[in-house]
């Protein structure tokens, strides 16, 4: 476990106190105007703590085992932590059995010459995924399909693997300097836009707080002055993302891809769901993947699992502590 992991695990320690957790849930329910907030805060206190405790235990065990069986423990651990998050915004979860399903499906039988990167998952109308997307991120998702490669491209920490394996960067690193956002001019080629059109996109669709009187170009950079600092709420920054390894913001270059607007936690869930299913039910392909090492899929899968191991507790911890203010 790295010092980076330990830092983010500190975010969970207060939740091992029932008095703290009860007050945390009560405040959340009251802010949502939920009736019987006090009763729900007490009844959900122990289930919330259990989800946190079991989720972190699964993740801890996942860090100790062989990569071949890592997806299952990471998926179970993440699912438990997500259920804790859902309890924060939905005091009656699970109200019906419909929300107990995965909320995602994948091909039952893989085709010959199967490639993980080209595989897809489909969102179902009901289930945990759909429910948490609605409750945690206020998104209505139903029956959309996402390919593995488009999901992986939205993980900034995997950009170096894409650069070496595919010859291109799916995320463009950006920098903040003296209240201005510095973006490489090559972004205009990726988005097939003029500078003015790109600025309009960033200001109107992405709601970036751009100071239109403070825009310049220098050293192949577009410098966008900001009226206010970029939000610390990473979901509100999309399609900008945050690279935890390089400690910098990035901009997704997958223009108009549905995955470009998915929050990090939803992306991680979809990828881990599919990998957990493959590792259980496509055992011949899964075994061959690690034995033969001839697939291009392996570096991406291994890289993602490494990232998921440290990023899951970070993302969930940030979401939970972000609601403490």
Tens digits of residue pLDDT in 259-273: 998 999 999 999 999
pLDDT value at position 123?
Answer: 94
* Among 16-30, 191-205, 248-262, 289-303, the range of highest mean pLDDT: 16-30
What's the mean pLDDT when you consider all of the chain?
90
Residues 30 and 99 in one domain: yes
In a domain, 161, yes or no: no
Residues 248 and 192 in one domain: yes
**3-class DSSP state of 104:** strand
- The residue behind tokens 């825009």 is 215
pLDDT value at position 6?
Answer: 67
In a domain, 127, yes or no: yes
Confidence of residue 5 (pLDDT cuts 50, 70, 90): low
Q: Which domain holds residue 90?
A: 3-147+292-321
Confidence of residue 130 (pLDDT cuts 50, 70, 90): very high
Average pLDDT over residues 44-62: 96
Residues 134 and 225 in one domain: no
In a domain, 28, yes or no: yes
Q: Residue 264: name the closest of 230, 231, 240, 298 by CA.
A: 240
Q: Are the C-beta atoms of 81 and 55 separated by less than 8 Å?
A: yes
If one counts the domains in the chain, the total is 2
DSSP 325: -
SS (H, E, C) 135-193: HHHCCCCCCCEEEHHHHHCCCHHHHHHHHHHHCCCCEEEEEEECCEEEEECCHHHHHCC
In a domain, 233, yes or no: yes
C-alpha angle 271/273/275, rounded to 5°?
70
**3-class DSSP state of 121:** strand
**3-class DSSP state of 4:** helix
> Alpha-carbon distance 275 to 308, whole Å?
12
Total H helices, total E strands in the chain: 13, 9
In a domain, 153, yes or no: no
In a domain, 71, yes or no: yes
Residues 44 and 80 in one domain: yes
Specify which residues 172 forms β-bridges with.
251
- Candidate from 101-115, 151-165, 251-265 with smallest mean pLDDT: 101-115
Of 225, 253, 281, the domain-final residue: 253
Longest dimension (CA), the chain: 60
Residues 21 and 130 in one domain: yes
DSSP 231: P
Confidence of residue 176 (pLDDT cuts 50, 70, 90): confident
The two tokens of residue 204 are 């109107």
Confidence of residue 325 (pLDDT cuts 50, 70, 90): low
pLDDT value at position 7?
Answer: 67
Residues 103 and 7 in one domain: yes
Average pLDDT over residues 17-45: 96
**3-class DSSP state of 247:** coil
Q: Are the C-beta atoms of 321 and 11 separated by less than 8 Å?
A: yes
Confidence of residue 257 (pLDDT cuts 50, 70, 90): confident
Residues 14 and 69 in one domain: yes
The two tokens of residue 210 are 């751009």
In a domain, 187, yes or no: yes
Average pLDDT over residues 210-233: 86
Of 232, 253, 274, the domain-final residue: 253
pLDDT value at position 111?
Answer: 66
pLDDT value at position 110?
Answer: 66
**Backbone φ and ψ of 288, nearest 5°:** -65, -35
Residues 85 and 221 in one domain: no
Residues 189 and 228 in one domain: yes
Residues 246 and 300 in one domain: no
Average pLDDT over residues 279-289: 90
Residues 186 and 241 in one domain: yes
In a domain, 40, yes or no: yes
Confidence of residue 4 (pLDDT cuts 50, 70, 90): very low
pLDDT value at position 292?
Answer: 82
Residues 139 and 179 in one domain: no
């Amino acid at each position: 476990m790295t010092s980076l992991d330990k830092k983010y695990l500190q975010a969970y320690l207060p939740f091992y106190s029932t008095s703290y957790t009860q007050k945390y849930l009560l405040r959340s329910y009251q802010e949502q105007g939920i009736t019987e907030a006090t009763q729900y805060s007490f009844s959900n206190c122990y289930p919330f703590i259990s989800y946190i405790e079991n989720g972190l235990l699964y993740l801890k065990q996942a860090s100790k085992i062989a990569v071949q069986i890592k997806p299952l423990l990471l998926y179970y651990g993440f699912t438990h932590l997500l259920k804790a998050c859902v309890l924060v915004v939905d005091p009656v979860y699970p109200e019906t059995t419909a929300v107990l399903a995965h909320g995602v499906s994948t091909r039952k039988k893989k085709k010959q010459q199967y490639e993980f990167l080209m595989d897809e998952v489909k969102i179902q109308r009901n289930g945990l995924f759909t429910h948490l997307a609605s409750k945690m991120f206020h998104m209505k998702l139903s029956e959309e399909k996402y390919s593995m490669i488009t999901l992986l491209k939205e993980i900034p920490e995997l950009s170096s693997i894409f650069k070496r394996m595919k010859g291109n960067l799916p995320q463009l690193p950006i920098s903040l300097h003296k209240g201005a956002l510095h973006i490489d001019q090559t972004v205009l080629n990726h988005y097939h836009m003029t500078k003015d059109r790109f600025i309009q996109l960033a200001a109107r669709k992405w709601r970036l707080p751009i100071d239109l009187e403070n825009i310049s170009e220098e050293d192949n950079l577009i410098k966008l002055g900001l009226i206010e600092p970029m939000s610390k709420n990473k979901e509100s920054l999309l399609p900008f993302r945050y690279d935890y390894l390089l400690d910098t913001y990035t901009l997704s270059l997958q223009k108009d891809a549905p995955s470009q607007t998915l929050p990090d936690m939803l992306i991680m869930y979809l990828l881990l769901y599919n990998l957990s299913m493959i590792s259980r039910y496509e055992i011949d392909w899964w075994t061959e993947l690690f034995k033969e090492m001839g697939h291009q899929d392996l570096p991406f899968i291994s890289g993602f699992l490494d990232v998921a191991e440290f990023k899951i507790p970070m993302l969930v911890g940030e979401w939970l502590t972000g609601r403490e203010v």
